[in-house]
Structure 1
Amino acid sequence: MDVPANPNVSTPFDSRTALRDVVTYKAYIIDTALGVLAGLVVFLSLLKTISWKRRVASAAIDLRILLTFLVFYAGDLANVFVLVTLATGVYWLMLSKAQQKVSIELPLPHQEKHFVTYIICAFALKAVQFLHKLAIQSSMDVFFIDWERPRTTASRTVTASGQQKRDFLPVSIWRTYFVAKEWNKIQTIRKTRPTFQIIAVLFFLEVLGFSKFTLKEPRPASNDLSQVEPPSYSVILRYGLASALWLCIGLLQVIFTAFYEICVDDKIRQFVDLCSISNISVLVLPQRCFGYYIHGRSVHGHADTNMEEMGNNLRREAESLCGQRGLLPNTDMQTFQVALSTRLRSHYDRIRESFSRRYGPARLMDSANQWEQNIRAYHTMNHFLGSVIDHVHPDMDYYVRDKLALESVLGMEFLEPIEKTIFYNDEAHSFSDVLFHGHESTLLLFDMLFFCVVDFACQNFVLAGLLTYIEQMIFRKIRINVGRKNLAYKTQVDERFLM
């Protein structure tokens, strides 16, 4: 006779075993997604490397090219790890807290260790990308082209031979110092406020109590003081909640900054206006044969003037009673991406090699000859770059064109500047790519990963926020100090005026 099955007796293949099989299957999906995406971003890194190779005018594939490819791949692979782990963390957070009864179990401890390993790898790879960008920004070539010319005075000087000689007013260096100081100030501005970012994340996690959603219980635990054992947190849930909050708050800050810069204050565009008022142009070369040019030549011809004349000049410009500020006649385009010819870059390097490395005050230099040599080299470079912009050198001439849409998307120039330098119109002011302002996504992800890695080690959001703040301040100080020294050396502006 058949015995009816007892529903209270569990079979060998019970629901708990099935749940664990589901968790294992989802871990397999994560590994597969990481493998597929890691293979796909190889092509993206190769594209970046090809673009970089063209911009440094490298003819052969050497060790430097291979190392650059690895750096690009490290950054892209870090983004893959962040994308997959973020989706995984948010998925488990929503799934485990939305269930009314225990139908889905969280990953096992050994699977959580694999998840932590992915996060640590993402942080290490993102750190490589961040340090690479920091090194480029701290060693790039910068020069301020002063368009001001000496102005004659009403008085005349009688020479020993009895001839009359016109007197010229010397060109003031203060405009160059002022523009250099402003450039130094905008090097570390960001689209987000790092301190507000940390405070806002901690406010949601600790003050509003969002951290209780990271407990391993299906629903948030109540604040029961009678509990003897401390609550157990899930590493995956903590990462999913913290990273999602970090990126959401950061994205809101970026959106707010975009509207704020359009409607209220945009320091990047204000710097371009300052260059025009100061009669100073800026050439920035992060790569050997690629960089950015800000055309700041004054439409009034002079900027060393008194308050009355300056006010009249600005009024005439506001009423369209003078020319436009653009590089080309009858245009307003002042910012350009520049692809330099090798001939022009070689001439630039020959002049720059005569610069003596001077970080300290002039009185601490080895000899007065070095100081005089730097002055001569500065004037030579200023005259050379100004003459290039004025089409004085036919063998180092340039032309202006728009970038193709595909060139902008790929971040690569299809035409090589073999005979002539190419100036690409740049309405987006992409010279911010040599500043912190142009790499907000890298900085935001690096800070987020640092915050989460510290939380993995101590399971304390407050301590993670404090250490993240210290990390941000350290790298900001490094960027300011090293960038200021590089700016003083490359532009020959005394470092004491870059405070």
Structure 2
Amino acid sequence: MKPRSLKKSLLLLFILFFIGVKGLELPGSCKTSQYYDSGVMMCQSCPANVSMVVSQDGFSCTCEEHSVPVSIGRCRPCNATEVVSVDGRSCVPRRCQASSGKLVCRKCPVDYITVTHGLDGSPLKEMQCVKCARGYRPYNNVCVRCESCVCAQQEIVVRGRCLPKRYVNDRPKYDETKMHPNELLDIVKHEYFCTKNDLLACRHLASECVRRFYSLDLAGPCRLWIQPKIPQPKGLAKLSIETTLNEKDPTEIDLARGMNKLNLALGVFTSEGRLEILRDPDLTPPCFLPLSINIGKDYSIDCRMNISQLQPSFNETLSPFLYTENDLKVLPVLLRQTNGQYVQRGTWPGKFRRYFIIHNSLSFTSNMTNTIYLRTLLIRLRIERNKLKSTSLQLHISIEAQYAGKSPLSQSITTTLRVEHDMPSAGVLRGLEIWGGVLGALLSLYAVAQWRGNLRRGGLHFTIVPYMAGAIADALYFAAWFSTLHALAAEAGALGLTLPLSRSEEYMIRAFVYSAVGLKALKVAWINWNQCRCDIFFMDWSEYNPPMKDTPVIDKSDNWRTSTLAREWSRLQTKRRTSPAYTVPLTLIIVYLMRPWHGYLPQNQGYKWAVGTLAWWSAYVIVTALRWLMDRVLGAPTAALARLCTGLGLSLLVFQEEYYAHYVHGRNDDSDARSLAGPLAACRVVCAPQLRVVYKQLSTPGLGGLVEKGPRKVLLSKFLAAFFERALDGLSWVASERTVLERLLDVELVAREPGNTSALLYDPGDGAPSCFNVTWWGEEWSLGSFDAMIYGYVFMTTGDTLVAGLVTLVAWQIMKLLRSSFGNKNQREKTDVDLKL
């Protein structure tokens, strides 16, 4: 702290302490009849019976009205027959006489002034009334010059000035009822004296022309500008920007490499005829110029102000300027009237260069004041790439002033300053065409291959819809992401600054992302619906007996081993390869670490979404890689199902489609030569049509006598167990290894043996049960990309990474709860195993 500031602070503390101890009074606490004596710091009353009252500032006493000072602290009132002299020091008698018993004193007429002192400054013995000379009139008891008082015979008085009658008569008559007569007379007066090269009159006339929105009426305030036959006075101000063929458009500006700011100054044309250039933004409210604009960053601010605050300081016309260190260039302004219509140039050459903030005009029909104010100042910046110089940009700037009328019921107005950018194309649209075409074609072909395999497995033709929806969603999402990343990489460093995306590119990216989320949601909903309707069988080999005609069938669905396997299968239905519980926090950490780099990015949701998506997939890859390493070291969690089946002596059979099932062999009787071993212990079953026909006959109530002899599901389990124990009459099966391409794309491309031969498909060296394909484990790509799309969708909408992460986690948990609920319901209906036991 500086010594001077320290002394002031100590003095203030001492005074406050002294006041608190002594009980002294502060200024402003005195009564209306008291004044504050700063010497004793107390309130005092003025002396009584001396014609003194409290002064206006409240710190002393002064003489009452119609009183004069006699000495220090004493005044005396003047008599009723006296007046106070001009200097306020003496009482001067008036000429009075008695009339009808009353005393009547002289008063000066309207055209006279009161004189109380002589030429030598001494008070007169009697007040005198003096008439002002020709050409002067009384004003505040002083004779001032009056030009209208000495008008010639051929002149007429117009608003206190003498104008030639011929000029007034020859001037076009103003027939409209939009202007009050007094305002029209002022315009006529300023117009005449402007033709006489009166600079101040020309300034007033220019301001009126601007406030009347550059009126095209020949009798209006803009007459000297729009009538070419009238010689223009030397002091006539320029209200439009005129350019020739050799001059450069003032709205076109070359941006050098690395130039990322644009400075706008404000030119104020005062009523005294001066032009002031304001460059400091602190001199005006934030909703007005001057302003420093960051290239590529939109800006908007609202200011609510009282109308009385704008009257004294904003009643002048303004002009925007673009300034650099060595240059000052005026910018054109486009005006929009209160009715929403633009001011047309008409006979005006070039573009307008002035605007106003507030204008009060008298109503033509009533004695009211109408207020028109600047509602919105809109600055549009259109940036184009320089065709001649690849390292520079061309900027076109347009300024639009939009006006509105103030309600007479309110004393406040709201003004808005808005900066909008129209950016050049960054190549995103072209990238969307390329990436969208390539990815769309490849993924559509893959979707058709999946659909064809689904039909072979016994699926419905309707499944083409979710398959194509998922493929198109991936194509849209990754095409938008790759195109945006490519544009960001191409823009960075090319011009010294990274420009934001254009509005069309921004809207197109949003459309792609939002469409991808909707289509992917359809695919995920179909996946969950399809998985919650598959047939499930738990085959207990310890209770297996060959199906003889008279052998009773016993329902053992409440067996503890069956319940244990059912619970494990219920738990595995929603198990993910890469859980969002780890991906979301790691994504937020990566985004936080990238925060310093975000300052170099433009304020554009498209680029932010691309960088946020990059953080998501980076976290996803890291979590997936760590999970793969853990599975290699500790063992994959999918192997637990096969071990559980072996330990319980149960086998699991899940039908994905009508002719396609997944089998996990759990028979622990190794003495049987028919026992499946090796890769066949966890295989896929391509069912022969005859097997499926028998399966349907046994599963349909009322067909044959087999159903009445026991529970239908137990009978089906025994039938399917017999298929793996030994071939039924007329049925056989063959083991077949899936090709590399089939394992990679998860589709059946090779036609298996036709007829009544069922095929057991296995993957060499892969101990993971194929039944995980009917759980979330086998749909990791669809679910993982869906999580990424939800995260990107919310982040693009809100711009908050934390909200996007929370919404993704909530959506995952809700979907998991629904999937578990419907999956358990399906398992209970298909196996009669109640998981509550």
Report if TM-score (shorter chain) is over 0.5.
Answer: yes
1:350 to 697, 707, 710: 697
Counterpart CA distance in 1 for 2:713 and 2:813 is 34
1:41 aligns with 2:443: yes
Counterpart CA distance in 1 for 2:436 and 2:627 is 33
Cross-structure match for 2:499: 105
1:403 to 738, 763, 772: 738
Cross-structure match for 2:625: 255
Map of 1:366-405 to 2, 5 A cutoff? 376-405=711-740
TM-superposed CA distance for 1:398, in Å, is 1.4
Counterpart CA distance in 2 for 1:25 and 1:89 is 8
Cross-structure match for 1:182: 568
Cross-structure match for 1:74: 469
* Contact preservation (8 Å) 1:93, 1:214: no
Cross-structure match for 2:578: 192
Q: Which amino acid aligns with 2:645?
A: C
Gaps spanning 5+ residues in structure 2: where?
1-245, 256-385, 397-421, 546-555
Counterpart CA distance in 2 for 1:495 and 1:373 is 27
Q: Deviations over 1:367-390 (max 9, x none)?
A: xxxxx9796223211211111112
Counterpart CA distance in 1 for 2:771 and 2:585 is 30
1:327 to 666, 676, 680: 676
Counterpart CA distance in 2 for 1:272 and 1:25 is 52
1:463 aligns with 2:833: no
The DSSP-based 3-state class of the residue aligned with 1:267 is coil
Query: Residues 100, 127 of structure 1: CA spacing in aligned structure 2 closer, same or farther, 3 A cutoff?
Result: same
Counterpart CA distance in 2 for 1:29 and 1:171 is 58
Query: Residues 269, 10 of structure 1: CA spacing in aligned structure 2 closer, same or farther, 3 A cutoff?
Result: closer
Greater CA drift, 417-426 or 403-412: 403-412
Greater CA drift, 185-194 or 256-265: 256-265
TM-superposed CA distance for 1:26, in Å, is 4.4
Q: Deviations over 1:46-96 (max 9, x none)?
A: 21221111110x7xxxxx41x322221111122212222221233344445
Greater CA drift, 193-202 or 28-37: 28-37
Counterpart CA distance in 1 for 2:581 and 2:735 is 42
Q: Which amino acid aligns with 1:270?
A: A
Cross-structure match for 2:406: none
The DSSP-based 3-state class of the residue aligned with 2:590 is helix
Identity %: 20
Q: Which amino acid aligns with 1:55?
A: R
Counterpart CA distance in 2 for 1:18 and 1:142 is 68
* Contact preservation (8 Å) 1:92, 1:237: no
Question: How many positions carry a matched residue from both structures?
Answer: 411
Gaps spanning 5+ residues in structure 1: where?
59-63, 152-169, 221-231, 301-321, 356-371
2:818 to 466, 478, 481: 478
Q: Deviations over 1:427-465 (max 9, x none)?
A: 433321111111212111101111111122211111111
* Contact preservation (8 Å) 1:451, 1:464: yes
Counterpart CA distance in 2 for 1:338 and 1:420 is 11
Counterpart CA distance in 2 for 1:131 and 1:463 is 24
> Rg: which structure is higher?
2
Counterpart CA distance in 2 for 1:123 and 1:105 is 27
Query: Residues 457, 49 of structure 1: CA spacing in aligned structure 2 closer, same or farther, 3 A cutoff?
Result: same
TM-superposed CA distance for 1:16, in Å, is 2.2
Query: Residues 236, 486 of structure 1: CA spacing in aligned structure 2 closer, same or farther, 3 A cutoff?
Result: same
TM-superposed CA distance for 1:403, in Å, is 2.0
Q: What is the root-mean-square deviation in Å for CA atoms of aligned residues?
A: 3.2
Q: Which amino acid aligns with 1:69?
A: I
Cross-structure match for 1:145: 539
Q: Deviations over 1:378-420 (max 9, x none)?
A: 3211211111112241323212121233443451141155311
Q: Which amino acid aligns with 1:290?
A: Y
Q: Which amino acid aligns with 1:47?
A: A
Counterpart CA distance in 2 for 1:109 and 1:9 is 21
TM-score of the aligned structures, taking structure 2 as reference length: 0.46
Map of 1:155-174 to 2, 5 A cutoff? 173-174=559-560
The DSSP-based 3-state class of the residue aligned with 1:453 is helix
Counterpart CA distance in 2 for 1:387 and 1:69 is 35
TM-superposed CA distance for 1:476, in Å, is 0.2
Counterpart CA distance in 2 for 1:470 and 1:352 is 40
Q: Which amino acid aligns with 2:532?
A: S
TM-superposed CA distance for 1:195, in Å, is 1.6
Q: Which amino acid aligns with 2:759?
A: I
More strand by share: 2
Counterpart CA distance in 2 for 1:326 and 1:90 is 55
Instruction: Give the structure, 1 or 2, with the largest relative contact order (CA under 8 Å, sep 6 or more).
Output: 1
The DSSP-based 3-state class of the residue aligned with 1:286 is strand
TM-superposed CA distance for 1:486, in Å, is 0.5
TM-superposed CA distance for 1:283, in Å, is 0.8
